């Protein structure tokens, strides 16, 4: 493997530049840690670079990872240098540099999708992507104001869900809604029906909104179905958006699995 010895190495400088611009559209993304790297290989694409801690490359999990990679993409460096490329200032033993797939916007939407409306916390966004993938959702749209989907914190919370989804950021909501051939469903406390008393469509576009403000009023007005989640927690108007999304998506899944 090629070995990088110092921060003055031109490739290290390029890697650091990519790390500093993490999440920007069109830029490579750095995946931190064995789980994310294995998840990337699981979709059948090699990384642009695979960078290993030179003192840990004999560890069984890293050896197994190296065996799956083309030799020309593999590099080593010291743990100190590797930690400097991590967004979390930790050394997980391996980093991948990858180029995320840019998904084409569909002409018409006929399947179940999720719209993230100005959800700001990266941890929430990553957890929502995991929930979507687990519930069988294949496509997610993120409005302007939502945390950058490929940022390090969202990637860490997503734990590989990104690679199972078609992701679209900073979408034009009006144009996107015009492509829907499925009902628009929102969670709201205003003029909404009990989720568990609602017959949910087999396919729909779910909207989950900002942590403090909820779903944008313009989207609520366009919704075919408005639902709320009844709960027993006194003094709390609504659940955390990640909990609400999980309940909604799996209730839809439950209803339609039962009918099969």
> At 150, which CATH number?
3.40.1280.10
In a domain, 106, yes or no: no
Give this prediction's pTM.
0.91
Packing angle of the helix pair 241-259, 122-134 (nearest 10 deg):
10
Cα–Cα distance, 177 to 181 (Å, whole number)? 9
Q: What single string gives the DSSP state of each residue in the chain?
A: -EEE--TTSHHHHHHHHHHHTTT-TTS-EEEESHHHHHHHHHTT---SEEEEETTTTTSHHHHHHHHTS-GGGEEEE-HHHHHHHSTTS---SEEEEE----PPPPSSB-S-EEEEES---HHHHHHHHHHHHHTT--EEEEETTSPPTTSHHHHHHHTTGGGGSEEEEEE-HHHHHTTB-S-EEEE-SSS-EEGGGS---SS-EEEEEBTTTBS-HHHHHH-SEEEE-----TT-SS--HHHHHHHHHHHHHHHHHHH-
Structure confidence by residue, pLDDT tens digits, 228-249: 998 776 555 668 999 999 999 9
Cα–Cα distance, 147 to 192 (Å, whole number)? 27
Structure confidence by residue, pLDDT tens digits, 23-33: 787 789 999 99
Residues 92 and 128 in one domain: no
67 in Cβ contact with 126 (< 8 Å): no
- Measured distance between the N- and C-terminal CA atoms of the chain, rounded to whole angstroms: 53
In a domain, 107, yes or no: no
> At 83, which CATH number?
3.30.1330.30
Structure confidence by residue, pLDDT tens digits, 101-159: 888 889 999 999 999 999 999 999 999 999 999 999 999 999 999 999 999 999 999 99
Torsion of CA 39, 44, 45, 47, to 10 degrees: 40
In a domain, 191, yes or no: yes
Q: Which of 40, 64, 98 is the last residue of a domain?
A: 98
Supply the range of the domain harboring residue 253: 113-259
183 in Cβ contact with 225 (< 8 Å): yes
pLDDT of 194 over the 90 cut: yes
Q: How many domains does the chain divide into?
A: 2
Q: What is the mean pLDDT of residues 203-213?
A: 94
pLDDT band at 260 (very low <50, low <70, confident <90, very high): very low
Cα–Cα distance, 15 to 85 (Å, whole number)? 7
Cα–Cα distance, 192 to 189 (Å, whole number)? 6
Residues 135 and 77 in one domain: no
Residues 74 and 167 in one domain: no
Residues 28 and 142 in one domain: no
In a domain, 126, yes or no: yes
* Lowest mean pLDDT, pick from 100-104, 163-167, 191-195: 100-104
Residues 204 and 119 in one domain: yes
Residues 82 and 182 in one domain: no
């Amino acid at each position: 493997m090629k070995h990088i010895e110092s921060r003055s190495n031109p490739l290290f400088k390029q890697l650091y530049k990519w790390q500093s611009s993490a999440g920007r559209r069109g830029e490579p993304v750095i995946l931190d840690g064995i789980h994310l790297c294995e998840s990337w290989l699981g979709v059948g694409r090699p990384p642009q670079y695979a960078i290993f801690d030179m003192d840990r490359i004999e560890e069984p999990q890293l050896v197994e990872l190296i065996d799956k990679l083309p030799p020309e993409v593999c590099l080593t460096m010291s743990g100190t240098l590797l930690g400097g490329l991590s967004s979390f200032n930790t050394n997980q033993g391996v980093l991948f540099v990858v180029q995320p797939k840019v998904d084409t916007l569909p002409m018409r939407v006929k399947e179940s999708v999720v719209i993230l409306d100005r959800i700001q916390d990266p941890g929430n966004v990553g957890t929502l992507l995991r929930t979507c993938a687990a519930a069988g959702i294949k496509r997610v749209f993120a409005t302007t104001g939502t945390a950058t989907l490929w940022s390090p914190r969202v990637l860490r919370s997503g734990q590989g869900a990104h690679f199972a989804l078609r992701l679209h950021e900073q979408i034009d909501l009006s144009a996107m809604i015009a492509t829907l051939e499925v009902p628009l469903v929102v969670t709201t406390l205003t003029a909404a029906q009990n989720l568990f008393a609602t017959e949910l469509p087999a396919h729909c576009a779910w909207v989950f909104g900002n942590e403090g403000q909820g779903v944008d009023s313009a989207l609520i007005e366009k919704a075919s179905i408005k639902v709320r989640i009844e709960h027993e927690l006194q003094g709390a108007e609504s659940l955390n958006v990640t909990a609400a999304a999980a309940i909604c998506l799996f209730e839809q899944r439950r209803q339609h699995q039962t009918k099969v």
